[in-house]
Structure 1
Amino acid sequence: MTVHEALKAAVAQLRKAGVEDARLSAEVLIQRVLGVGKAHLYAHPDRVLTPEEERRIAEGVSRRARREPLQYITGVVEFYGLELEVGPEVLIPRPETEGLVERVLGWRSMWERPLIADVGTGSGALAVALAHHWPGARIVGIDVSPGAFQVASRNIRRHGVAARVTLVQGDLLFPLLEHKQRADIVVSNPPYIPSGEIEGLQPEVARFEPRAALDGGGDGLAVYRRLFSQLPEVLAGPGAVAVEVGAGQAGEVRRLLEESLRHVAGGAADVQMETGTDRDLAGIERVVWGRFS
């Protein structure tokens, strides 16, 4: 079998299985097996595959045809220009989540050496990206999942930021509360999909990604309420918060955040507070943020 024949067969199999990005998936799977780039793939269509290459390609295509996410099959994803390890223990970082990194990096002029709490760190994508682009920052990545803890640990070591990123296992901000530790910035991409909507998502998400990283309770806002209730005891002043939200959730999450920040400020007359939202490339309000000084 040649590269061209393998690609044609893979695309046909994936399209029959209902995979939306059938060609892209086929290209990536074959590229990973052969260790070549896309240009090389199309420049050498008549290259004959070895039996082992054929076997590995067929295995990858079969997994993708069962709607397993491409990123879980390859084991990697690119996030904010960095290649990260991912697996079924963690949510796959999405491009829209890069907006959280942009928002937090926009606060660099406010702090030289902040302590940033990354709540629900998962693969460590936010923690690694922030540490990589903010050399003075110290980051505490928190996750309740032992599996996520292991994946994040490997990503932190992979990108050489272990000296400034500390991982702790725990629920939301409880690890900081237990040690009476304050944070300057809290950032989080929490579960925000309403429980009743998860089964209706694409099979790649509903069947394969960890439900605990998706399920935001009945209205999708349960984790925000719990997280924001902890801010008064954790957030230092001046302080800032940035969270990712689902489509249509920004207004209510912003209201909840404003209510929490008023408690953080304690009603002091000289406190200045600001909140806002940032849109993703699709025009959806995707990041809700607030800060006070």
Structure 2
Amino acid sequence: MATIAFVVHHDRPDAAELARDTAAWLEQEGHEVRLTDEDAAVAGLDPTGHGPEQILSGLDAVVSLGGDGTMLRAVAMVAASEVPVIGVNLGQLGYLTEVEPAGLRHALARFLSGDYAIEQRMLLAVQLDVVSSGSVTATEAIALNDAVLEKTPGGHTVRLDVEIDGRFFTPYTTDGLIVATPTGSTAYALSVRGPIVEPTHRAVLLTPVSPHMLFDRTLVLEPDARIRITVAGARPATLSVDGRVLGELAVGDSVTCTASEHVARLVVFGPRDFHGILKAKFKLGDR
């Protein structure tokens, strides 16, 4: 018997329907299905009372039903335990997802029989240090795509000081800075003309957003590089990690990013054709 968890897109009825149908099939086959109470409510299933620890205990895989955003939530949930994640594409882009909805039962049957491979993706460890409140507080998070420190909505540019490996690099006057993994190179960083990097590489990318300075290039750094970004001006900045807002930073507050000791483990059922995915997403011709 296997134990499978589901993470469900909260605004897609087809994701809820697929969760109900697949959960019923798995349980008929003698497997255990787990969802958080929030996801169970979205899927129209009875609440299980499972908290994060109960969800993760003895878990064999988590199935993400949605788009890349749902996939990011699933990876964050299991990052520290490195549980394999099966991505089902119910979204628009689908850079991260592997399975189409009609093929989910077949994919799960293959997974349960051991007919699959694991693709490892680098994760970022992100630490937010707040000193502006008068007492020092630290918050930690994990990112598969990126950590973004940027001006508050409707605000002006922010002044951000950057250190790399403990040495001051340069101040940025900018709309924001993106610290991304190779996986995240096709997310927000791509929209500000950052480089596209094979997602299985290990590197840390530092990309400015609309900088008010001549130096506007992405830095591609070693995976063990330690990037510290400090708010240096009077204007505040907002930190988001994989799209989740962690808080607003004032002068003196900082964010530190480096490669996590954990990796994301994505289930694949054959070689992933990253170049083919790029051609399809960007509608590139063969000739």
**TM-score using structure 2 length:** 0.29
Computing the radius of gyration over CA atoms, which structure comes out larger, 1 or 2? 1
Higher share in helix: 1
Higher share in strand: 2
Structure with the bigger RCO (C-alpha within 8 Å, sep 6+) is 2
